């Protein structure tokens, strides 16, 4: 019998980098499928910043944590290699929460077939969590209007890069914040952002004043960290702040405090934190909103490919270091 590997959560992370000892790598035989079942061989596995949160119990989080001993949660794309299920045939490409595993036996729940014109990388980079999150955050809470100014942190990341391109397509003035020059160049030259700020080397306050002379109407927050206070200080009256990610603060023992709330009154600002699982019922509408931008060629993306199931463990640390270049995908 052939064997396959799966990776199970073995311990809860502590602040700091993700380490191998948090996981248990298991090898087992590929099982026979029973009636109504399919066997899926995963080909592309998505790594997303939200996974860091899924590893830790938090009674107030939007989704239960991965249980100790359970296969680590992730979305992915795979190929059906055996089927006793009436809706699936061998060679169908399917997507779903496949988890950190090379093979998966399923009765088909939660799996959907890929539309034939889409490849796995486009699906995971645009039409999965990143695109849904960008669309929900920008249109559900950001209320973008042509001519307004939006600042996006984590602008070269999987969500931020889509938010900025959607806003640009809608006629907003788009400023991206990223952590190195290559990313700043990419969002400006390739994605068409109006301006980019390197938060590690630029004078953030001065650059914001230069790039957002009329203030900031929307702040799409993907990272937290030192840029937050500066953007907050430049918010316009009736500004909207959409809080989507705080990756810079997840690793700290003692997260830095946020801005004082006086400006919320003076400027009548709304701050809205959100997480996609609350909005899964809206996925069809979100895809209807997003798809025309993609079809019109307004949305570019790039992928950062890792190879082999076990590369996912250290791959998570790329979210902390910011060293990834594009949507993180593990090819199996």
Interface positions with a second copy (CB under 8 A): 53, 58, 60-62, 221, 224, 228, 236-237, 243-246, 249-250, 255-275, 278
In the complex, minimum distance from the CB of residue 229 to a second copy, in angstroms, rounded to a whole number: 9
Taking residue 303's Cβ as centre, other Cβ atoms within 10 Å add up to 19
In the complex, minimum distance from the CB of residue 58 to a second copy, in angstroms, rounded to a whole number: 6
Contact partners, residue 223, CB within 8 Å, separation at least 6? 153, 154, 157, 177, 245, 246, 247, 248
In the complex, minimum distance from the CB of residue 158 to a second copy, in angstroms, rounded to a whole number: 16
Residues facing residue 113 across a β-bridge: 94
Taking residue 109's Cβ as centre, other Cβ atoms within 10 Å add up to 6
Q: Considering beta carbons, is residue 257 or 284 the nearer one to a second copy?
A: 257
Taking residue 231's Cβ as centre, other Cβ atoms within 10 Å add up to 25
In the complex, minimum distance from the CB of residue 153 to a second copy, in angstroms, rounded to a whole number: 12
Q: Considering beta carbons, is residue 193 or 219 the nearer one to a second copy?
A: 219
Q: Considering beta carbons, is residue 93 or 158 the nearer one to a second copy?
A: 158
Q: Considering beta carbons, is residue 123 or 132 the nearer one to a second copy?
A: 132
Given a contact cutoff of 8 angstroms between Cβ atoms, the answer to whether 8 and 71 are in contact is yes
Separation between Cα atoms, residue 113 and residue 87, nearest integer Å? 10
Q: Considering beta carbons, is residue 216 or 332 the nearer one to a second copy?
A: 216
Q: Kindly list the distances between the CA atom of residue 286 and the CA atoms of 267, 279, 295, in Å, as whole numbers in the listed order.
A: 30, 9, 15
In the complex, minimum distance from the CB of residue 110 to a second copy, in angstroms, rounded to a whole number: 22
Separation between Cα atoms, residue 251 and residue 240, nearest integer Å? 26
């Amino acid at each position: 019998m052939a064997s396959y590997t799966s990776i199970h959560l073995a311990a809860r992370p502590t602040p700091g980098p993700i380490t191998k000892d948090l996981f248990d790598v298991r090898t087992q035989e590929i099982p026979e499928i029973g009636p109504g079942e399919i066997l899926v061989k995963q080909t592309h596995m998505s790594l997303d910043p939200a996974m860091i949160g899924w590893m830790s119990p938090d009674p107030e989080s939007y989704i239960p944590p991965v249980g100790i001993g359970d296969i680590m949660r992730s979305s992915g794309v795979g190929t059906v290699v055996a089927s006793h299920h009436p809706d699936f045939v061998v060679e169908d490409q399917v997507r779903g929460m496949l988890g950190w595993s090379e093979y998966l036996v399923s009765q088909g729940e939660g799996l959907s077939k890929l539309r034939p014109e889409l490849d796995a990388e486009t699906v995971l980079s645009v039409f999965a969590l990143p695109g849904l999150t960008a669309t929900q955050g920008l249109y559900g809470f950001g209320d973008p209007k042509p001519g307004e100014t939006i600042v996006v942190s984590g602008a070269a990341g999987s969500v931020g890069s889509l938010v900025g391109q959607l806003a640009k397509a809608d006629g907003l003035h788009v400023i991206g914040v990223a952590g190195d020059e290559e990313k700043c160049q990419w969002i400006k030259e390739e994605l068409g952002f109006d301006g980019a700020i390197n938060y590690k080397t630029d004078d953030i306050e001065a650059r914001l004043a230069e790039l957002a002379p009329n203030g900031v109407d929307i702040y799409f927050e993907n990272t937290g960290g030192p840029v937050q206070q500066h953007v907050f200080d430049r918010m316009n009256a009736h500004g909207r702040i959409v809080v989507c990610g705080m990756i810079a603060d997840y690793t700290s023992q003692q997260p830095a405090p946020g801005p004082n709330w006086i400006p919320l009154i003076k400027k009548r600002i709304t701050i809205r934190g959100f997480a996609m699982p609350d909005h899964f019922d809206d996925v069809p509408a979100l895809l209807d909103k997003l798809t025309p931008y993609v079809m019109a060629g307004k949305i570019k993306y790039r992928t950062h490919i890792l190879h082999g199931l076990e590369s996912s463990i250290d791959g998570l640390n790329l979210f902390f270091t910011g060293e990834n270049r594009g949507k993180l995908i593990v090819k199996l």
